[in-house]
Structure 1
Amino acid sequence: MIFVTGGAGFIGANFVLDWLATTGEPVVNIDKLTYAGNLENLASVRDDARHTFVQADIGDSAVIAQLLAQHQPRAVLNFAAESHVDRSIHGPEDFIQTNVVGTFRLLEAVRAYWSGLPADAKSAFRFLHVSTDEVYGTLGATDPAFTESHNYEPNSPYSASKAASDHLVRAWHHTYGLPVLTTNCSNNYGPMHFPEKLIPLMIVNALAGKPLPIYGDGQQIRDWLYVRDHCSAIRRVLEAGRLGDTYNVGGWNEQANIDIVQTVCALLDELRPREDGKSYAEQIRFVQDRPGHDRRYAIDARKLERELGWKPAETFDTGIRKTVQWYLDHPEWVAHVQSGSYRDWVLQQYSAQEPA
């Protein structure tokens, strides 16, 4: 039995489905169900006895403690987080509450549970914290990629809150001996991605005939990681990672945002052509850049390959084709996640922007 927090969100839900399909080990899935948590992501395991869903906040210490005592997991994997940079700029307090205070309270509940385990179970227990490459800050065009020893230099409220959570996890290991592992991943993409992030937003807007808004000059570079590759990396770190260590997880796929959007448009031109025969690329619009926008992220994932034998299975070409096809095949999912609050947020974020 394992616990997964944030398991109704994009990465968490993909992990839960992947875990059950790959290992068969039961999962208790805890999610607060904020705007980005979606039980439709878990529809295929709704009646699966191996999957137990609990709507709860990781900051609710009493509920977490009760669930730990009841289910006796051998590991806790923490995916729960507020994760969107733009939202953190407009409303940073939610990010501090979930990513910092929530992680602290989760760590304390897990520490109390772990301290009371029998010796064998205590030795085998793991707490795996899922984090981001954004804690490292930004890179210049020719700088080497982020390694696990790179200084933390977060530049947004989101990345600062995740950096704080990483430090808490590290401290709970060194101070209390809690057996922790941390992963810092690059930009994920794939099925069930909430359409406020770049790739799903471009797909959804393109199909709806709406503008495709790109910040600044579109030359911001990210390392893109297919979400199911990320899931396999987390499984491997949980299985064999060294206690207290951090592992960077990347896709070896550095791409500029404008190139990503052009690729999405080309795939849509092929798979779902516009009725007028024109390219979806005609819908691209450059808008004013967001404050503090990091210029480049890149992950050096050689430690994970060297020590644990993990490499991504997907190239960007194969992963992005699977992603676009998934959105084309699941229009009901897209329609259901586009609630009134989501539409209001997109309107606030992009429609009032002046061209760059």
Structure 2
Amino acid sequence: MADTVYHVTLFGLEFDIKPVAFSLPIAGGWDIYWYGILISLGFGLAILYAMKRAKSFELNPDKVIDVILVSTPVSIICARAYYLLFDGVKTESIAGFFDIHSGGMAIYGGVIGAFLSAALMCKIRKINMLDLFDLGAIGFFIGQAIGRWGNFFNQEAYGTFTNSSWWGMTSNRIQEEYGYGLVHPCFLYESVWCLIGFIILHTLSRRRKFKGELFLMYGALYGIGRFFIEGLRTDSLMIGDFRVSKWLSLLLFAGCSLAIGIILIKLKNESQQEYTPLFEGIQLNADTDTHDITDENIMKDEGTGSGEDKGYGAWTDEPSEDADDSDILDNLDENAAEQFLNAMGGIEAERTDDLGENTYDPTIYYSENKGEAED
């Protein structure tokens, strides 16, 4: 395999590639494939990104590493198991299970395994699961965008004929397996789509509307992209005539999109609930007029005398010189007085003058000096 060379044509460009990057002088020669190198590179960059951004997601980097150390091997095992399950390949040994050269791995198995094991580790290490899932979703897009190029070096994960004279790719391996003509470079489509997904999630990560938003967006974005790309592929995992990954992608897109919509509508409704001012509906009956006591009136600047722009003087046209708390309550009817006392109970407001030292009690509205508001 180390001597295998593929002569590739991609969008009119011709070049040769080898699936094996180099060989180690171990046990007669241990081939190191570009496929493994690129997947490892994707994992590594995703981990570096997670470490750099962990604190911005209110996560402890050390605990994030603990999760990664468990979820990484689990995701690899699940990716291989998913492939074998739907490809129908039977293995008789553990070595055969991990012999990815005789078969491959499926990204959906890896995603499922990673998130399930991460959820368990979040419970064990007492980590906010949704924060971690949001961060992990961005990392998955990084890993997938890079890892898909491993398919290119293996000349796999390609699609049907493009019927174009220049758009697409071909190689001696594709011609042997599928026929002559340019085919859709599905690996490239997915790599670009995942790169776009990374940019979107990275941009939105600094202004999440709710925890779990990026995780759901990952599912929706990857799902809809994979749905269309999978429909082009010639090596889809099948159950009869059923393309497993294609319809799983559609289900993922629909479920995540619906969840996002429901949550956003709920948040919008909560934010639009009518705000009732603290003193709404409580009325003060003065000698000449009746005025509403509202938050707005209470927060007016200090003023004197009558007139609506004179601070506390706005509540009565001409407050009496001897007005105090009892006078105010006397002017309230029984129900309004009860509302007033309930509203004022336990409330302590503070106002500072130029020196920043004076405070006032909001239940005291007029001084004993000709209706002037007290400091």
TM-score range, shorter chain: under 0.3
Higher relative contact order (CA 8 A, sep 6+): 1
* More helix by percentage: 2
Q: Scaled by the length of structure 2, what TM-score is found?
A: 0.22
- Structure number with bigger Rg: 2
Q: Scaled by the length of structure 1, what TM-score is found?
A: 0.23
